[in-house]
């Protein structure tokens, strides 16, 4: 069972309606799914009706591991908007998934950002705001 952390997000932080299936599945089932191409056998991100690798329309959402490695990270320490201030510091990371695609999400429970190594193995943690009905990706080091 994937860990779920209850949060109060300042806004609905879901991206692109192409990913509606991803966010609905994350919120209702806490399952990590990715768009998958049945023609070339590759995963991709973000969701689309056409494969980013080969152009095939034979794509579907398929369960994925929810594991990867940190590609890069950054920690925000200053607020660009008053609504964000209470969430600082906040770290955002890009993760290269075991399945190949790169995604972005919030890095949680990381301690000191200076000690977070690139290539660190991470797993998905769902950040759920029940009031907004919104669940987004968080990543935690293994
Ligand atoms: Zn393809």
CA pair distance 34, 45, nearest whole angstrom: 7
At 26, which helix (H) or strand (E)?
helix 20-29
Beta-carbon contacts of residue 47 (< 8 Å; ≥ 6 apart):
16, 18, 19, 20, 21, 22, 35, 61
Cα 100 to middle of ligand 1, angstroms: 13
Range of the domain at 28: 4-9+17-141
Q: Which two tokens stand for residue 96?
A: 């290269």
pLDDT at 80: 78
CA–centroid distance, 58 to ligand 1, in Å, is: 8
Domain total for the chain?
Answer: 1
Calculate how far, in angstroms, residue 134's C-alpha sits from the geometric centre of ligand 1: 30
CATH no. for residue 111? 2.40.50.840
Distance in Å, CA 64 to ligand 1 centroid: 16
| Cα 48 to averaged position of ligand 1 atoms, centre (Å) | 11
List the chain pLDDT tens, one digit each, 142 residues: 788 888 877 666 666 667 889 989 999 999 999 999 999 999 999 998 999 999 999 999 999 999 999 999 999 999 877 877 888 999 999 999 999 999 999 999 999 999 999 999 999 999 999 998 889 999 999 9
């Amino acid at each position: 069972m994937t860990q779920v952390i209850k949060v109060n997000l300042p806004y609905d932080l879901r991206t692109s309606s192409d990913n509606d299936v991803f966010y609905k599945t994350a919120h209702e089932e806490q399952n990590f799914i990715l768009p998958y191409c049945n023609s070339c056998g590759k995963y991709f991100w973000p969701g689309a009706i056409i494969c980013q690798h080969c152009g095939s329309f034979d794509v579907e959402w398929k369960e994925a591991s929810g594991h990867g490695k940190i590609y890069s990270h950054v920690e925000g320490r200053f607020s660009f908007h008053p609504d964000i201030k209470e969430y600082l510091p906040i770290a955002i990371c890009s993760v290269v998934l075991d399945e190949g695609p790169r995604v972005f999400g919030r890095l949680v429970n990381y301690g000191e950002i200076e000690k977070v190594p690139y290539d660190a193995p991470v797993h998905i943690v769902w950040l759920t705001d029940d009031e907004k009905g919104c669940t987004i990706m968080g990543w935690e080091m293994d």
